[in-house]
Structure 1
Amino acid sequence: MSYQPAMVPPKKNTTRTVLIVVGIVLAICCAGGAIGGFFLYRVVEDATGPAKSTVDTFAGALVSQDYPTAYGQLCGKLRDRFSQDDFARQQSNGSLPDGYEIVGLNVHNNNGRVSGSASVRYTLRQGMPTTQTYTLTKENGAWRICQ
């Protein structure tokens, strides 16, 4: 009589299978997070980009003493209150800025009424920084400074 070995089922490597599945799930989550983050960035940029451009134009015009350009960024209510010459006179009588940095920008949509605010840090020629906060409003589809 000869000895017959018993059939042993092949050993399954469940640890390896679990690690592969976990790796695939993690890769999908990371890719989804990256794609979601990109789209979130685009939405925020689309919402704040035009407002930032208005503030950038206004502050840059003040630094370069281009008062007609700065005046053009003001809302109708402010332009009705004083003329371009009065605005230029008022700006040139104060401390003249040497540079600027936009340090804060918020855009709000409350029941369809869009508004915002921006904080700009100016470096004055005397060397002291000062921060100015501007109120922003959307007027005829364009952002305007409306202190």
Structure 2
Amino acid sequence: MTYEPMLVPDRKPNRTTRTVLIVVAAVLVVCCLGGVCGGFWLYRTVSKAVGPAREATAAYLDDVQAGNYPGAYGRLCEKVRDGMSQEEYTRIQSAQLKIRSYEITGASVSNYNGRVSGAVTVQMVQETGGRFTQTVPLAKERGEWRVCQ
């Protein structure tokens, strides 16, 4: 009788490491995509909130820069208009140094007990070359942003 060796099946390679790496890579891809989408959503939400406040400030400063003081007066909040006539506002603005240019550098909006307000930071250059930074306070009245300085 001859001896026949017993056939042993080939050993299956251990694929645990490969499986773990695939799972880790998939989780990283999902996290990265979630971060990008979340960041984009946050950027659009913030832009929607502060965009109109920035635009209202720019329109006000454009009126002041052009010497359109009645237009600028119309962009003021009720509290300021109640405390100052249009003629008085025009007289005060006419006496100040003119703005050569400006750049809006920041904006924030807050909602406190239903009262929506904002602040826009502006760097301005006067006709004399002087530079200064000013924060323009705003209030939202009847759905419209108004300068409330």
TM-score by length of 2: 0.89
Q: Deviations over 1:10-43 (max 9, x none)?
A: 1122222111111110110011111111111122
Match of 2:139 in 1: 137
Match of 1:70 in 2: 72
For 1:16, the aligned partner's letter is: R
Match of 1:117 in 2: 119
Matches within 5 A, 1:18-29: 18-29=20-31
Report how far residue 2 of structure 1 moved. 2.9
The runs of 5 or more residues in structure 2 that have no matched partner are none
Moved over 6 A (4+): none
Match of 1:34 in 2: 36
- Cα distance in 1, alignment partners of residues 47 and 36 from structure 2: 16
Match of 2:61 in 1: 59
- Cα distance in 2, alignment partners of residues 82 and 61 from structure 1: 18
How many residues are treated as equivalent by the alignment? Answer: 147
Match of 2:9 among 3, 7, 16: 7
Report how far residue 130 of structure 1 moved. 1.4
SS class of match (2:139):
strand
Q: Deviations over 1:115-134 (max 9, x none)?
A: 12222111011111112222
- Cα distance in 1, alignment partners of residues 9 and 84 from structure 2: 99
For 2:148, the aligned partner's letter is: C
Report how far residue 53 of structure 1 moved. 1.1
Q: Deviations over 1:63-82 (max 9, x none)?
A: 22222221121011222222
**Is 65-74 or 80-89 further displaced after alignment?**
80-89
TM-score by length of 1: 0.90
- Cα distance in 2, alignment partners of residues 26 and 63 from structure 1: 52
SS class of match (1:106):
strand
Report how far residue 88 of structure 1 moved. 2.2
Q: Percent identity?
A: 45
CA RMSD of aligned residues (A): 1.6
Which is higher, the Rg of structure 1 or of structure 2? 2
For 2:110, the aligned partner's letter is: H
Match of 1:96 in 2: 98
